[in-house]
Amino acid sequence: MGNGDIELDADIVVVGAGMSGLYALKALRDRGFRVIVLERAPEVGGTWYWNRYPGARCDIPSLEYSFGFDPELEQEWEWTEHFAAQPEIERYLNHIADRYDLRRDIRLSTGVSAMTFDATTDTWVVDTETGERLRARFCVMATGGLSAPHRPDWPGLDTFAGEIVQTSLWPEDGVELEGRRVGIVGNGSSGVQAIPELAEVAGHLTVFQRTAAFTWPSQNRPLTEAEQAEVKSRYRELRAAQYASPLATAHTTGAVIFTFADPDKRILESTADEREAALAEHGFSAARIWGDAAKDLEANEMAVELFREMVRRTVHDPEVADSLCPKDYPIGCKRPVLDNGYFETFNRDDVTLVDLRKDPVVEVVPAGVVTASGTKELDVLVFATGFDAVSGALTRIDIRGTDGRLLRDEWTDGPRTLMGFAAAGFPNLLMIIGPGSVGVLATYPPHIELQVGWIADLLDHLRATERTCVEAEVEAQDAWCAEVEAAAAGSMFLAPNCSSWYNGGNIAGKARNLPIYLGGLDRYMARANEMAANGYEGFALR
Ligand code: NA7
């Protein structure tokens, strides 16, 4: 690539060797670019390396949560379950690293601390936590949407005499749990997945809950050979369906994730008998079948009541059941959770629920966690308290663009990008599944393939036309941000009493904002491809 007089370590530095970074390396190397990947972890896999807590599992069917770029890879890889557990996905990503000889361009245990754009040469200077400095023309951020761990700052936490672990930073050699007094904080996907597994091994499990979860039985089961062969026999057609769909799904495997809402079913007009029949037929999913619950808060509250009824029918102790009933936010505000025996776990004698709304945390002491009602003695304290999502992995790096402006400061009121690909003021910096794209809503592997393909085409175009710089234009970025906002209007993600990692409400001081385009991947990619066809409209190419 035309690098003039300056010495470049690579054409492109990719930050992160998770799913996005691995595929970016493969695709960009295939186009003849010199690529170096920098990864903080000692292994590849990203999310599927770090989140190795007991029970960690994907909530998208395995046969769809996988890459389609190589039909041979698709045919040779055998998934064992409808919803793959973490070790299997980690093995899959390691297999990809080996199969395409990716490791030679990946530097492990090399976190990126700072990135500075040098406008005199149109290059990025990348500083690592290991003290290295690299220069590249372009940076591609493959830093993930749920990768910047968040942990509460409880008073006295550092005095705790036992072991503190976080689900998203689970040690590779495990944590001793057998027979011990274990506490867990957090009831999102991570907590809900971990709780039944921890209860199995711990001597006693104490669950500290701030907000009750909407979670549905996953109905996970082994994939039969016949099911797998059937999907593999028509994989091209199914992948095509994924690439062209709003959420990169093809409903291939027959795994029942949820009973989807029927637009014609209106809970506001339903009778008590009809609701009872729905409970008998669908169980917890009876709360999800109503078309009017998606946008109408009154209908939503009626659907939530069906969910609560299922909790009361499942959990024996009425007080515990009451605490486990979601009360003050709508279904659809947070990402739905899939579980394996979550509510049933609270019927065990060796599991205690502490409802932090009634019994708040006072402090942590060497012996355990003190709440208003007294000390809960613990040997291990597990935080499943989520992430500074979507933008956090980017704002935690000191990214300095034109005139030294800091990305973190530019995004104080929420991230601003042109379609999640790039941000004005930060030339030659491209993002995979960045804020302002469809983001975490569409199935990652096919979604990543589409985005990386678009980025690779852009970089190819720059090389072919001998340009050294690409930057999002402010007007185009403003117009796109307005469109993202318009698409989110009226959605439950921004309901008045909804606070979640989607909208930044889970992190104190973070701007409340939904940096996710709700218009669907199909419309998003059509727009991206149209921009490309019009000579990368909205981008300044120099
Ligand atoms: P989530 O979904 O953000 O869940 C985090 C949980 O931790 C949630 O129940 C929070 O309660 C709780 N939390 C956070 N801070 C505190 C404090 N200070 N005290 C008590 N409880 C707290 O993260 P996950 O890792 O479970 O899942 C993230 C995504 O990964 C998931 O949606 C899937 O897409 C995969 P809150 O609701 O804020 O009251």
* Nearest CA owner, ligand 1 atom 37: 211
Q: Calculate how far, in angstroms, residue 338's C-alpha sits from the geometric centre of ligand 1.
A: 14
304-355 pLDDT, tens per residue? 999 999 999 999 999 999 999 999 999 989 999 999 999 999 999 999 999 9
Residues 6+ apart with CB under 8 A from 419: 436, 437, 480, 517, 524, 527, 528, 531
* Nearest CA owner, ligand 1 atom 23: 386
Strands, E assignment, 29-168? 35-38, 106-107, 112-118, 123-128, 133-141, 163-166
Whether 60 contacts 446, CB under 8 Å: no
pLDDT at residue 65, rounded to an integer: 97
Q: Calculate how far, in angstroms, residue 384's C-alpha sits from the geometric centre of ligand 1.
A: 6
pLDDT for 540 beyond 70: yes
Nearest-atom number in ligand 1 for the CA of 356 is 20
pLDDT at residue 497, rounded to an integer: 87
* Nearest CA owner, ligand 1 atom 30: 189
pLDDT for 251 beyond 90: no
pLDDT at residue 6, rounded to an integer: 82
* Nearest CA owner, ligand 1 atom 26: 188
Token pair 């040098």: residue: 118
- Tell me which of 3.40.50.300, 3.30.930.10, 3.50.50.60, 3.40.50.2300 is the CATH number of domain 10-149+388-541: 3.50.50.60
Q: Calculate how far, in angstroms, residue 506's C-alpha sits from the geometric centre of ligand 1.
A: 7
Look up the pTM and report it: 0.96
Residues 6+ apart with CB under 8 A from 38: 13, 14, 15, 16, 107, 110, 111, 112, 126, 128, 134
pLDDT for 152 beyond 90: yes
- pLDDT class of 52 with cuts at 50, 70, 90: very high
pLDDT at residue 496, rounded to an integer: 86
- In percent, the amount of the chain with pLDDT more than 90 equals 94
* Nearest CA owner, ligand 1 atom 32: 335
d(CA 62, CA 2): 41
- CATH code of domain 151-214+336-386: 3.50.50.60
What average pLDDT is seen over the chain?
Answer: 96
pLDDT for 2 beyond 70: no
pLDDT at residue 55, rounded to an integer: 98
* Nearest CA owner, ligand 1 atom 12: 186
pLDDT for 151 beyond 70: yes
Report the pLDDT averaged over residues 457-481: 98
Amino acid (1-letter code) at residue 524: Y
pLDDT for 281 beyond 90: yes
Q: Calculate how far, in angstroms, residue 349's C-alpha sits from the geometric centre of ligand 1.
A: 25
pLDDT at residue 253, rounded to an integer: 60
Residues 6+ apart with CB under 8 A from 166: 149, 151, 382, 383, 384, 385
Report the pLDDT averaged over residues 121-148: 98
Query: Which residues is 472 bridged to in the sheet?
Result: 539
Give one word for 355, left, alpha or beta, with left for phi > 0 and alpha for psi -120 to 50: beta
pLDDT at residue 193, rounded to an integer: 98
Report the pLDDT averaged over residues 44-65: 97
Report the pLDDT averaged over residues 268-290: 96
173 burial type by CB count under 10 A (0-12 exposed, 13-18 middle, 19+ buried): exposed
Report the pLDDT averaged over residues 169-196: 98
pLDDT for 277 beyond 80: yes
Q: Calculate how far, in angstroms, residue 510's C-alpha sits from the geometric centre of ligand 1.
A: 15
pLDDT at residue 262, rounded to an integer: 87
- In percent, the amount of the chain with pLDDT more than 70 equals 98
Q: Calculate how far, in angstroms, residue 324's C-alpha sits from the geometric centre of ligand 1.
A: 15
pLDDT at residue 182, rounded to an integer: 99
Which residue ranges have their beta carbon within 6 Å of ligand 1? Answer: 146, 152, 185-191, 210-211, 335, 356, 384-386, 501, 506
Locate 185 and state its tokens. 């904080």
pLDDT for 254 beyond 80: no
Q: Calculate how far, in angstroms, residue 188's C-alpha sits from the geometric centre of ligand 1.
A: 5
Strands, E assignment, 195-336? 204-209, 215-217
* Nearest CA owner, ligand 1 atom 10: 186
Q: Calculate how far, in angstroms, residue 167's C-alpha sits from the geometric centre of ligand 1.
A: 11
* Nearest CA owner, ligand 1 atom 18: 152
Tell me which residue of 138, 95, 222 sits closest to 455, measured CA to CA. 138
Nearest-atom number in ligand 1 for the CA of 192 is 26
Per 3-state DSSP, the chain is made up of helix, strand and coil in percentages (nearest 5) of 35, 20, 45
Q: Calculate how far, in angstroms, residue 516's C-alpha sits from the geometric centre of ligand 1.
A: 18
- pLDDT class of 3 with cuts at 50, 70, 90: very low
408-433 pLDDT, tens per residue? 999 999 999 999 999 999 999 999 99
Report the pLDDT averaged over residues 297-309: 97
Report the pLDDT averaged over residues 388-396: 97
Tell me which residue of 375, 357, 355, 358 sits closest to 366, measured CA to CA. 375
Burial 217-231 (b: 16+ CB within 10 A, else e): bbebeebeeebbeeb
| φ, ψ at 160 (rounded to 5°) | -60, 130
- CATH topology identical between 10-149+388-541 and 151-214+336-386: yes
Locate 25 and state its tokens. 């390396």
pLDDT at residue 258, rounded to an integer: 54
Whether 417 contacts 423, CB under 8 Å: yes
**Four-CA torsion 134, 29, 139, 485, nearest 10 degrees:** -160
Q: Calculate how far, in angstroms, residue 40's C-alpha sits from the geometric centre of ligand 1.
A: 23
| φ, ψ at 174 (rounded to 5°) | 80, 180
* Nearest CA owner, ligand 1 atom 15: 385
* Pairing outcome for strands 351-355 and 204-209: parallel
| φ, ψ at 217 (rounded to 5°) | -60, 130
Return the best residue to mutate from 58, 164, 190, 370 for the ligand 1 pocket (most ligand atoms within 8 A of CB).
190
d(CA 541, CA 299): 49
Return the best residue to mutate from 151, 324, 331, 385 for the ligand 1 pocket (most ligand atoms within 8 A of CB).
385
pLDDT at residue 314, rounded to an integer: 98
pLDDT for 470 beyond 80: yes
Strands, E assignment, 278-423? 337-339, 351-355, 361-365, 368-371, 374-377, 380-383, 398-400
The structural domains of the chain, with segments of one domain joined by +, span: 10-149+388-541, 151-214+336-386
